[in-house]
Structure 1
Amino acid sequence: MRPCAGDHTPLWENAKRERKVQVFPDQFPGLFDAPLATGGRAAGLLFPQVDTDASPDVVDGTRTLGEADFMSGATEDRYPDVFGQAQGVDGGGRESARAEVAARLAMLPHRAVRLSHDVPAGAALLGAVADTV
């Protein structure tokens, strides 16, 4: 079943797990008519969590970046090295480089937010939070 344009109803896998979509950066221009950025500057970090039964809101939390936030290791989420061809190369870069990035990002404002399936309310919350960082 394919969703219709403007339909934000979640799709379920075996009535147990919400299906997730995986969109890669090179698909943004074609799917969303959004050009790719050639640079950017981080102003703050948002740590979202989803609770389908609650209203979108800013929540208390002291979450910071950790090793699990980086796509690193012998395999990463997008292309598991099922044939062993990566020869142990870590696609997430050196551990020291990840630590440096995490340290720099730790200096920025952090906000934990709770989202739900209420897309308009979530968008309004994210817009309000973005204005505070």
Structure 2
Amino acid sequence: MNLDKFLQLFNPLPGNHYLQVALCEDEITVALRSMMDSVSGEFNLALYNEDNLNFSQPFRAMPRDHDMVILKDIFHKHENPKMILKLAYLTLANTAHVIIMEKKGIMDVEATKALLEEFEFRAPNEIDIVDGYDLVIAKKMHMWGNGL
């Protein structure tokens, strides 16, 4: 998988914190970790156990602690995707981004963009840059809606 275009979505700075929520480590995890290490940033990984098929437990993250949250192959499998968006919103710093990645054909992109808007993420966009994946990115804006 060529990740060059995917990594161009990011502009990590020293001290930035990125969080990936996924089922397992893969080449995207390795690329994100390497990118964050290269700028003395912090990369966190929250893994769900594939055996826990109802995904009832949320991931844990400190409020306003992350500059980017990447939800990979987890959003539509989770028992409560709205809870995932709420947690992502709470852990993101102001003007930070959330990315939802799902294998092609799993995600209803327009419904996902509408759900992101409902949870006060702005400017949701579909970006076709990772082979075999649908990707939607949106931004948390301070003092819009939730204002958290």
User: What TM-score do you get using the length of structure 1 for normalisation?
Assistant: 0.29
User: What TM-score do you get using the length of structure 2 for normalisation?
Assistant: 0.27
Determine which structure has the larger strand proportion and give its number.
Answer: 2
Larger Rg: 1
